[in-house]
């Protein structure tokens, strides 16, 4: 069964991204980078789907799509971040890279 946490995901520079999600009483941060730059983006209402909380730690490979009106990132641990972009970007870009999950 998949579990869900809400939060945000945004770009921090051309190829870097940052997200924050609340799970129960804990905050989880995912920070990472794509292999190539993408236009600036932000999803203020992103959803993290995961199978178990223990999987949200360490570095995970990521593939996905940013644009035109949503972002979807699929991580190698089976978790996924999806969200409607606050502002559309065009054209959509396929991305790959890595993200690092930490609990604060």
Give the up-direction half-sphere exposure of residue 73: CA atoms within 13 A in the CB hemisphere.
Answer: 30
pLDDT tens sequence across 19-37: 999 998 899 999 999 999 9
According to the model, what pLDDT value does residue 99 have? 98
- Angle, vertex CA 21, rays to CA 33 and CA 68, nearest 5: 55
Q: Record the pTM.
A: 0.96
pLDDT tens sequence across 3-16: 999 999 999 998 99
């Amino acid at each position: 069964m998949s579990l869900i946490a809400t939060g945000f995901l945004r770009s921090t520079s051309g190829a870097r991204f940052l997200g924050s999600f609340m799970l129960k009483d804990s905050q989880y941060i995912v920070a990472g980078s794509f292999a190539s730059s993408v236009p600036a983006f932000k999803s203020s209402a992103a959803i993290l789907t995961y199978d178990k909380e223990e999987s949200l730690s360490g570095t995970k490979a990521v593939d996905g799509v940013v644009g035109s009106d949503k972002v979807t990132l699929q991580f190698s641990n089976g978790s996924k971040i999806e969200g409607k972009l606050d502002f559309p970007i065009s054209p959509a870009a396929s991305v790959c890279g890595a993200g690092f999950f930490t609990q604060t």
